[in-house]
Amino acid sequence: MKQGLVLDRVVLLGRTLEEYRRYFALELAAWRGRAVLDVASGVSSFCAEAHAVGLNVTACDPIYELTPDVIRPRCEVDLDWVVHGIRDRPTYRWDFYQTPARMRAFREAALEVFLSDFPAHPSRYVAGRLPELPFADRAFDLTLVSYLLFAYEEQLNYEFHRRAVLELMRVTRGEARLYPLVSFEARRSDYLAQLVGDASLAHLHFEVVPTDFEFLRNSNCYLRVTHRH
């Protein structure tokens, strides 16, 4: 019997710079002047807000082939579904958002910022889909993936995760940070241990880094992936 949010597909919801900063423990000043990639960035406002504070962020998601008038209604449907679906679930802690209505306000704010930045700065938004990304080898100092890997372990199988990590690290010269490491059942994904022990990823180093942000229970950490030298 499931206790967590039930989803049949990857939803189209976006988070804000504040949320990214908290769960990736991002020191914004440290990343100024570096090339940052946000994969599966969707309708997040991270890219727009990060540029506004001087970061060089490229966002990559399959939806960037679409126009804002197609994206908005898809996102609104998913937001209704998720806000309704997370009520009373034991898999969440409400310390940060306090209520589903406040969480919804974060998502709506992210959507509006994204929808104005996307047409205004199209060069920041690149259409692409894991496990193949349209970027050169080691083009980025920092690559982020928020709410695609591990969370959607039921929709995206282990082989997808393995190939995705290989591809993320092909385009990354510094480090990748992946969040969360739990599924929507708030249980650490088995794929994490599989990735760490996978001989085809032996050239990579994996480190679980604790943070002080927890919405999905047990999600107060991110995965840092670096190249072994």
Ligand X SMILES: C[S@@+](CC[C@H](N)C(=O)[O-])C[C@H]1O[C@@H](n2cnc3c(N)ncnc32)[C@H](O)[C@@H]1O
Q: Which of residues 70 and 202 has its CB atom nearest to ligand X in the complex? A: 70
Q: Which of residues 11 and 192 has its CB atom nearest to ligand X in the complex? A: 11
| Strands of 21-64, DSSP E | 35-39, 56-61
Those residues whose C-beta lies under 8 Å from the C-beta of residue 145, and which sit 6 or more positions away, are 38, 39, 40, 164, 168, 176, 177, 178, 179
Tell me the closest approach of the beta carbon of residue 228 to ligand X, in angstroms. 25
Q: Is 134 in the site for ligand X (CB under 6 A)?
A: no
Interacting residue with ligand X among 26, 79, 86, 130 (CB under 6 A) = 130
Of 66-74, 98-106, 145-153, 187-195, the segment contacting ligand X by CB under 6 A is 145-153
State how beta strands 35-39 and 140-146 pair.
Answer: parallel
Peptide bond just before 131 cis, omega within 30 deg? yes
Q: Is 180 in the site for ligand X (CB under 6 A)?
A: no
What is the per-residue binding string for ligand X in 36-55, x denoting contact by CB under 6 A?
A: ---xxxx-x-----------
Cβ contact 168:39 at 8 Å: yes
Q: Is 71 in the site for ligand X (CB under 6 A)?
A: no
Dist. CA 117–CA 123, nearest whole Å: 10
The residues that touch ligand X, with contacts defined as CB under 6 A, are 10-15, 39-42, 44, 61-63, 129-130, 146-148
